[in-house]
Amino acid sequence: MRAKLDERHIGNPVMVGIHTGGAWVAERLHRLLALTAPLGVLDISFYRDDFTRIGINPQVKPSQMPGDIDDRHVILVDDVLYTGRTIRAALNEIFDYGRPASVILAVLIDRNGRELPIQADVTAHHFELGPQQQIKLQDGPDSLQLVLSEITDGG
């Protein structure tokens, strides 16, 4: 992560985690990198592309952006990069707050199954999983735990 920031000559980035797993990872990263700008949290429920199919998530949380993001370098953090649809939604939401100078995507897990042309800039782990397998970050924010499960039909 540090190397990527150095490579791009980014001094004072704004870190934004995607609710909920991404926000937990971002919290850790934010501390490890000792970033000065406050951490942001995005809940992308209002930007999902499946609203007309599944409706609104009733537990949506407010998004919190740390001040003005115009011309700032943003590090977008999520737990698992899978289809890419969440990141598409998050990018759209970020641009409704302003025009960042750049956006870097950092994820804990990069797994196969992409449906959109979106790739991570920084990845901690890469997994090859079957289409019926699901990986999830749980038990945050204190004791993070990755859980691998099989999706049963209809579930």
Chain residues binding other proteins by CB under 8 A are 43, 45-47, 51-56, 58-65, 70, 92-93, 95-98
Sign of torsion over alpha carbons 107, 92, 18, 100: positive
Q: What is the largest CA-CA distance in the chain?
A: 47
Please, what is the minimum distance in Å from the beta carbon of residue 71 to other proteins? Answer: 13
CA 88 to chain centre: 10
Question: Please, what is the minimum distance in Å from the beta carbon of residue 116 to other proteins?
Answer: 16
The least distance separating other proteins from the CB of residue 69, rounded to whole angstroms, comes to: 9
CB-wise, 131 or 154, nearer to other proteins? 154
